[in-house]
Amino acid sequence: MKITVHKGELRNSSTRAVVVGHFEDSKVLVGAASTLDKNCNGLIGELLKDGTYEGKLFETAVVNTKGLIKPERVVVVGLGKKGEFDPEKLRGAYSKAARTIRDLHITGFSSSLDFGKIKLTLDTVAESAVEGVLLGLYQFTRFKTIDRYQIRTVDEFIIMETDDESINVIETAAKTAENISNAVYYSRDLVATPSNEMTPTILADRARQVARKRNIKVTVMGEPFMKRLGMNALLSVARGSNEPPKLIAMEYNGGKKSEKPVVLVGKGITFDSGGISIKPAERMEEMKSDMAGGSAVIGIMMAIADLRLPVNVVGIIPATENLPGGRAYKPGDVLQSMSGKTIEVISTDAEGRLILADAFSYAEKYNPKVLIDMATLTGACIIALGDLIVGMMGTDEELKGRIREASEATGERVWELPLPEEYNELIKSDVADFKNTGGRPGGAITAALFLQKFVGDYPWVHLDIAGPALLAKDRPYIPKGASGVGVRLMVAFLRKWKIKK
């Protein structure tokens, strides 16, 4: 989609449709809506009087402008109550407006970002509006072959503005939002792609593809390398599959050479059947999304390189299938991980923590300033927090605080679960150092406690994204399916990395 900022008034815009917002508790039209209403002889204001439009949050109305202004249609979208207005509502409203435009078979629209007097800054408004439009219009159509002409797209979004200084602010913010949304799209595509088309090898190729033309270095390591380093936890998970596992490392150095990197580790199980501890068939197809942590890492690397953030970041993705082949690892097996620590396998379906354990050990070589992992790790986290909220566990208050701030800025919600020392009891093994499951109670927590055993001496945060990675229902600006969760969260976190430190 082409997003541009044009100098001029909304009524003169070249697109077939324009979008204006309305606050539920405002008796009159505000900002651009009010100006446009005057241009249209009060046509928009009539909506409010005749009671056909209440302006509830995300409620839309379409007005035919009958030749009074150049654009044929005005889409009015509810912004909710003025006092409650925030970036998240703006994203949702612009997503809804853009979808309404798409439903009308219109391929381009314009809008002004003047909502009267509000508390948000113009760059936040512009970023949120563009993000809402782009993220909300996402579609995964790669495998549709019949009637492709029926797939509707919106190709143009013009932001109208009269003030030169504001035009500059909006252009910069829009570009930022475009870069970030592009990375979210990329991440969503990886997750949505089924495992026959998204093997560890293909995932590694995608990482290479992202690095091409960007300031990112990619290294892909195969089995011989893993064997040499003693990555038996990762190798064991891979044994049941004929697809070779890959360890993907992406390095972006935007900061000073002397600065230790932020290391991001993403779980890259391209399909999780459960292995010998096989999962029930029902909804097993959703396990194509078990590489959502890894795909988030790829999206994050893409976005920060495009934004040229002044930070050093390493992304590490252990990638493999988890299948019950003839050589598959089995319950009862004892594995020696790269760290030297031994693990008794209780369930081959608790594979994520195994591949992450070795990836954490590998991360040591980068001398991390902090380590953050993202993983669709436990069903228990979905039980605890549902699919709206990411489970956050970690050892460092400052780091968790920064992630909370990024969460508030992006609307990618996180909630902390504790890491009580006492629960370490649950993952003690009789035959090895640890076992890979701690039973059902507190399953998200015991998984994180397991991971903690493999973390070096630096701040660490674990984000369990099992719930939000794949959505069963549409959200205001996240269509059902792969959400790309983690990308916007971590990019917001990294944009603020330098500040304060």
Binding site for Mn ion (CB under 5 A): 272, 349, 351
Single out the residue of 391, 390, 217, 250 nearest to residue 319, CA to CA: 250
Nearest residue (CB) to ligand BES, 379 versus 456: 379
* 373 is a contact residue toward Zn ion (CB under 5 A): no
Pick what 437 binds: Mn ion, Zn ion, ligand BES, none; C-beta below 5 to 8 Å, kind-dependent.
ligand BES
* 272 is a contact residue toward Zn ion (CB under 5 A): yes
Nearest residue (CB) to Zn ion, 173 versus 269: 269
Pick what 78 binds: Mn ion, ligand BES, Zn ion, none; C-beta below 5 to 8 Å, kind-dependent.
none
Residue type, 96: K
- Which residue in the shown chain puts its C-beta closest to Zn ion? 272
- Measure the CA–CA gap between 260 and 369, rounded to whole angstroms: 5
Pick what 347 binds: ligand BES, Mn ion, Zn ion, none; C-beta below 5 to 8 Å, kind-dependent.
ligand BES
CA distances from 408 to 93, 301, 413, 488, 490 (A): 18, 21, 7, 11, 12
Nearest residue (CB) to ligand BES, 93 versus 287: 287
- Measure the CA–CA gap between 9 and 32, rounded to whole angstroms: 9
Query: 109 — phi, psi (to 5°)?
Result: -145, 165
User: With CB under 5 A, what is the number of residues at the site for Zn ion?
Assistant: 4
> What is the nearest approach in angstroms of ligand BES to the Cβ of residue 136?
24
- Measure the CA–CA gap between 67 and 404, rounded to whole angstroms: 49
* 290 is a contact residue toward Zn ion (CB under 5 A): yes
Residue 66 backbone zone (phi > 0: left; psi -120 to 50: alpha; other: beta):
left
* 293 is a contact residue toward Zn ion (CB under 5 A): no
Pick what 443 binds: ligand BES, Mn ion, Zn ion, none; C-beta below 5 to 8 Å, kind-dependent.
ligand BES
> What is the nearest approach in angstroms of ligand BES to the Cβ of residue 421?
20
Nearest residue (CB) to Mn ion, 349 versus 358: 349
* 464 is a contact residue toward Zn ion (CB under 5 A): no
Strands (DSSP E) found in 65-150: 73-80, 108-112
Nearest residue (CB) to ligand BES, 136 versus 443: 443
- Measure the CA–CA gap between 353 and 376, rounded to whole angstroms: 10
* 318 is a contact residue toward Zn ion (CB under 5 A): no
> What is the nearest approach in angstroms of Mn ion to the Cβ of residue 173?
40
Pick what 37 binds: Mn ion, Zn ion, ligand BES, none; C-beta below 5 to 8 Å, kind-dependent.
none
Q: How many CB atoms lie within 10 A of CB 469?
A: 30
Catalytic residue among 70, 82, 102, 279: 279
> What is the nearest approach in angstroms of ligand BES to the Cβ of residue 336?
21
- Measure the CA–CA gap between 294 and 316, rounded to whole angstroms: 8
Single out the residue of 446, 442, 452, 443 nearest to residue 396, CA to CA: 452
The token pair at 406 is 């990024």
The token pair at 429 is 């093994």
Q: For this structure, is 496 an active site residue?
A: no
Question: 149: part of which helix (H) or strand (E)?
Answer: none
- Which residue in the shown chain puts its C-beta closest to ligand BES? 379
Residue 500 backbone zone (phi > 0: left; psi -120 to 50: alpha; other: beta):
left
Query: Is the Cβ–Cβ distance between 288 and 271 less than 8 Å?
Result: yes
In sequence order, the 6+-apart residues with CB closer than 8 A to the CB of 480 are 471, 472, 473, 474
Residue type, 279: K
Region binding Zn ion by CB under 5 A among candidate stretches 5-13, 178-186, 348-356, 453-461 = 348-356
> What is the nearest approach in angstroms of ligand BES to the Cβ of residue 2?
36
> What is the nearest approach in angstroms of Mn ion to the Cβ of residue 227?
23
Region binding Zn ion by CB under 5 A among candidate stretches 119-127, 218-226, 245-253, 288-296 = 288-296
Nearest residue (CB) to Mn ion, 244 versus 324: 324
- Measure the CA–CA gap between 159 and 113, rounded to whole angstroms: 7
**DSSP structure string for 450-473:** HHHTT--SS-EEEEE-TTTTEESS
Query: Is the Cβ–Cβ distance between 287 and 238 less than 8 Å?
Result: no
For binding to ligand BES (CB under 6 A), which residues are involved?
A: 272, 290, 347, 349-352, 376-380, 382, 437, 443, 466
Nearest residue (CB) to Mn ion, 88 versus 321: 321
Nearest residue (CB) to ligand BES, 62 versus 284: 284
The token pair at 241 is 């599959």
Pick what 378 binds: Zn ion, ligand BES, Mn ion, none; C-beta below 5 to 8 Å, kind-dependent.
ligand BES
> What is the nearest approach in angstroms of ligand BES to the Cβ of residue 464?
9
Q: For this structure, is 175 an active site residue?
A: no
Q: What angle do CA 388, 498, 124 make, to 5 degrees?
A: 50
Query: Is the Cβ–Cβ distance between 350 and 436 less than 8 Å?
Result: yes
Region binding Zn ion by CB under 5 A among candidate stretches 46-54, 194-202, 269-277, 491-499 = 269-277
Catalytic residue among 89, 353, 402, 495: 353
Pick what 324 binds: Mn ion, ligand BES, Zn ion, none; C-beta below 5 to 8 Å, kind-dependent.
none
The token pair at 6 is 């044009």
Kindly list the residues in this chain that would bind Zn ion in the complex (CB under 5 A). 269, 272, 290, 352
- Residues marked as catalytic: 279, 353
